[in-house]
Amino acid sequence: MTDLVFLHKPLLASVVFLLIHISISPFFFPLAGMENKTNGSVEAKLVAENGQLPDPADWAFTDVVNYFKAAGFDEQATAFQDQEIDGKSLLLMTRNDVLTGLSIKLGPALKIYEYHVKPLQTQHLKSNANAPLHAPQRVTR
């Protein structure tokens, strides 16, 4: 029996590492579903049916604040609240906006941009890549 455990220790260590990484990684944070509230904001739920966050373009600024609080950035979330950054604004933010425009410390700002803002922007672009473009309608007389 001990031989069996010994043979599988590297595999077990890999599985444990992966589970820990997934559980603490900001990108895999358990905000996967949201539902609309009457005030136009969305409320976080733990699990989404498709395993992805809803489109951030639909988030109110309170949803952005709650997202960053849930991700462990309580102090920095107030900067998003003070600047009233909603989902559409979040999707337009550049690295420079996050690093300098929000007046937050460099370390957390880098993590927020690399592990949250950029992946949310990528998710938004991928989910809307096949959406039809609305060409201007031509007026005929």
Query: Side chain identity at 99, as an amino acid letter?
Result: L
For residue 34, pLDDT beyond 80? no
What percent of the chain is modeled with pLDDT above 90? 50
Whose tokens are 């009457």? That residue is 38
CA-to-CA dists, residue 71 to 16, 34, 37, angstroms: 22, 15, 21
Amino acid at position 103, single letter = S
Task: Kindly report which listed range (2-11, 35-44, 132-141) carries the lowest average pLDDT score.
Answer: 35-44
**Tokens coding 121:** 């922007």
Mean pLDDT value of segment 8-36: 40
Confidence class of residue 128 from pLDDT cuts 50, 70 and 90? confident
pTM over cut 0.85? no
Chain segment 63-77, per-residue pLDDT in tens: 999 999 999 999 999
Kindly tell me if the per-residue pLDDT of 9 is higher than 80.
no
Give me the mean pLDDT over the 44-48 stretch. 42
* Distance separating alpha carbons of residues 109 and 95, to the nearest angstrom: 9
* Cβ pair 112, 73 in contact under 8 A: yes
